């Protein structure tokens, strides 16, 4: 391994041992094998999926006759940025990276061999290895991490501050969700939920020249951020009837595209009611509860396109460009930078949502 400077033998990190069991520990510093990259982590973000994993949510852990996705003990963290400090044999050429580069790696490390990978849908890889959940893709809540040889890595351009680059991952996801919405010029677009993903969607949707871009959230400070990201109009469902408002704004038709980023069952119901016939409804939110709604609206009444969105395939370069362009008030979006020892606080802040937007952890604090 070609390396930048002397590396310590051990490092501090967070280790997920199971639901409600994340510990601040010491671990050996990993090394980069052939084709692999060693990164000195600058910061790691938390998101709803980290909270869901911590809380033992369905899908992450075995239950209901389904195997779990998580392989403990594992270092969490799939949103991150850092500096390249080690390159295994052939890694520099393979990934276009040099020692000292600021770099990110897409959250999924595909197998490049399954049906999905072979057809260009690598983000849906059947043998999915997502950083922070799986043994083969240890995450970023550590001083150092390895990008496995199958990873998709990007050098972060100088236009993006290393402090802001931790937001590339969530923004890449938001851009993919907006792409799924297929916004046409002049459309009325509603983004439900102004957390990190919703704010990213607003900035990405703005670039598609919608006629009216509406954001909804229960928190006034988040609505303020939504306007800073490009929302033309913000609505608080706690104060107004958002369905009536959107219908009034569209001559009674409803919005053309509805992007769900709140994870609240109520937003799904509102979305199905405020969207016009033949509209496009995109689901990104991670839901804590099951959603109950008038399902027949989708077919019998409106013939909707209801689409899911997962991860950020082919969108990292655009996410870097968007951050570099200054389209998002990054210093207000990244609200917290805490030491690894405060992982529990970081998870609480992310779960609560009222006092934080993007919570990050960083080594050496």
Give the residues lining the site for Zn ion (CB under 5 A).
47, 110-111, 114, 117, 125
Residue among 87 and 178 whose Cβ is closer to Zn ion: 178
Taking the complex as a whole, how short is the minimal distance between the CB of residue 302 and Zn ion, in angstroms? 31
Q: For strand 358-362 and strand 275-283, is the pairing parallel, antiparallel, or unpaired?
A: unpaired
Burial of 69 (0-12, 13-18, 19+ CB in 10 A): middle
Taking the complex as a whole, how short is the minimal distance between the CB of residue 152 and Zn ion, in angstroms? 12
Residue among 85 and 130 whose Cβ is closer to Zn ion: 130
Q: Tell me the C-alpha distance between 232 and 250, whole Å.
A: 14
Q: Tell me the C-alpha distance between 281 and 53, whole Å.
A: 26
Taking the complex as a whole, how short is the minimal distance between the CB of residue 61 and Zn ion, in angstroms? 18
Taking the complex as a whole, how short is the minimal distance between the CB of residue 92 and Zn ion, in angstroms? 25
Taking the complex as a whole, how short is the minimal distance between the CB of residue 47 and Zn ion, in angstroms? 3
Residue among 47 and 359 whose Cβ is closer to Zn ion: 47
- 271 and 258 in contact (C-beta within 8 Å)? yes
Residue among 77 and 254 whose Cβ is closer to Zn ion: 77
Q: How far is CA 147 from CA 37, 66, 123, 125, 297, in A?
A: 5, 28, 16, 17, 44
Residue among 110 and 271 whose Cβ is closer to Zn ion: 110
Cα 331 from chain centroid (whole Å): 17
Closest CA to 349 of 43, 24, 27, 48: 48
Residue among 114 and 291 whose Cβ is closer to Zn ion: 114
Cα 131 from chain centroid (whole Å): 12
Taking the complex as a whole, how short is the minimal distance between the CB of residue 118 and Zn ion, in angstroms? 8
């Amino acid at each position: 391994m070609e390396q930048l400077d002397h590396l310590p033998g051990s490092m501090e990190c967070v280790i997920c041992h199971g639901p409600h069991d994340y510990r601040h520990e010491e671990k050996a510093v990993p090394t980069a094998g052939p084709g692999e990259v060693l990164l000195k982590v600058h910061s790691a973000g938390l998101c709803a999926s980290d909270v869901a994993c911590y809380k033992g949510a369905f899908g992450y852990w075995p239950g209901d006759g389904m195997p779990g996705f998580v392989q403990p003990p594992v270092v969490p963290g799939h949103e991150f940025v850092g500096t390249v400090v080690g390159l295994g044999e052939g890694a520099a050429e393979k990934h276009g990276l040099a020692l000292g580069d600021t770099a990110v790696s897409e959250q999924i490390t595909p197998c490049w061999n399954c049906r999905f990978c072979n057809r260009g849908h690598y983000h849906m890889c059947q043998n999915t290895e997502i950083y922070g959940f799986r043994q083969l893709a240890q995450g970023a809540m550590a001083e150092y991490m390895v990008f496995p040889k199958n990873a998709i890595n990007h050098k972060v351009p100088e236009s993006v501050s290393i402090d802001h680059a931790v937001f590339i991952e969530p923004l890449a996801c938001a851009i993919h969700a907006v792409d799924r919405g297929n916004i046409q010029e002049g459309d009325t677009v509603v983004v439900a939920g102004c957390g990190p993903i919703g704010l990213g969607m607003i900035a990405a949707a703005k670039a598609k020249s919608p006629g009216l871009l509406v954001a909804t959230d229960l928190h006034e400070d988040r609505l303020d951020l939504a306007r800073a990201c490009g929302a033309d109009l913000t609505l608080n469902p706690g104060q107004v009837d958002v369905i009536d408002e959107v219908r009034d704004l569209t001559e009674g038709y409803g919005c053309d595209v509805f992007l769900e980023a709140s994870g609240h069952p109520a937003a799904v119901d509102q979305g199905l009611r405020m969207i016009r016939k033949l509209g496009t409804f995109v689901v990104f939110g991670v839901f804590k509860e099951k959603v109950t709604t008038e399902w027949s609206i989708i077919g019998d009444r409106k013939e909707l396109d209801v689409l899911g969105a997962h991860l950020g395939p082919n969108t990292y370069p655009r996410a870097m460009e968007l951050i570099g362009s200054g389209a998002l008030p990054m210093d207000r979006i990244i609200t917290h930078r805490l030491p690894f020892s405060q992982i529990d606080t970081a998870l609480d802040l992310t779960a609560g949502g009222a006092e934080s937007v993007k919570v990050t952890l960083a080594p050496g604090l």
